[in-house]
Amino acid sequence: MRFLVVKSKTIKCVLLVCLCAVLLAINFGTGKAATVFFGYAPRKVPVYSVDTLTKKVAITFDSAWGADKTLKIIETLKEYNVKATFFLVGFWVEEYPDMVKAINDAGLEIGTHSNTHADFVNLSEAEMELELSTSVNLITNITGNEVNLFRAPYGSYNNSVISVAESLNLTTIQWDVDTLDWKGLSATEINTRVASKVTNGSIILCHNNSDNILEALPLMLTTLKNKGYQVTSVGDLIYKDNYYVDNLGIQRQK
């Protein structure tokens, strides 16, 4: 009987600690990435998607190597009257300044994808800051616009990565729908993936120079339109204040 009493008290204590952790994760998610508690260690989480009742999604293009398809992507986006976000690597900006200007002139959003496409988890905080500030300055010098969004190369991040980005007023953005276009999937396969995974508030990952992106993009945009979705940029999709990010990376309004 004594054993049962002790065990009962222990269980109650454990449950109380877990409840406090959950409440902390919810109530203290006041930064651009909420602090979520797993065990004893807090973990920051970027925005993978947005909790919204509106049938609205964001489409994104990571740009690091090659640019010969970029103008056609811009034309297609204009043809379908949709917005998008391009995450540009610094060395790509230096090599293709005219493309950067074309993206900006088309009214499309630009975020940073780092300066050298390094894995940020392997960098010091000083190196992370240099990567971000250098790439942001390269973009701003061409467009004259602020850069507010960051996508980590390889989707690789930890607390330090997000904290450094936040210190530079950058919101770290992931994705919840991966087209896998970089794997050489056909246009039909890419479209099928998007159709099966997209939901309200989704962020769709594409690459500007993947093999079949020019054929896949019209299919995706048509499918999304037929499903009733408005396609827009990340900046138009995410909440700017009064939000938290849950442990699944879903940005929610308080």
- Among 113, 181, 207, 241, which one carries the catalytic annotation? 207
> Exactly one of 62, 117, 176, 181 is catalytic; which is it?
62
Whether 181 is catalytic is no
Annotated active-site residue 117? The verdict is: no
Structure tokens at 58: 């964001």
Distance, in Å, from the CA atom of 32 to the CA atom of 148, rounded to the nearest integer, reads 11
Backbone angles phi, psi at 188, to 5 degrees: -65, -45
CB contact at 8 A, 207 and 182: yes
Quickly list H helices, 85-237.
90-95, 97-105, 125-143, 159-167, 187-197, 213-226, 234-237
Q: Would you say 208 and 86 are in contact if contact means Cβ atoms under 8 Å apart?
A: yes
Q: Which residues are catalytic?
A: 62, 207
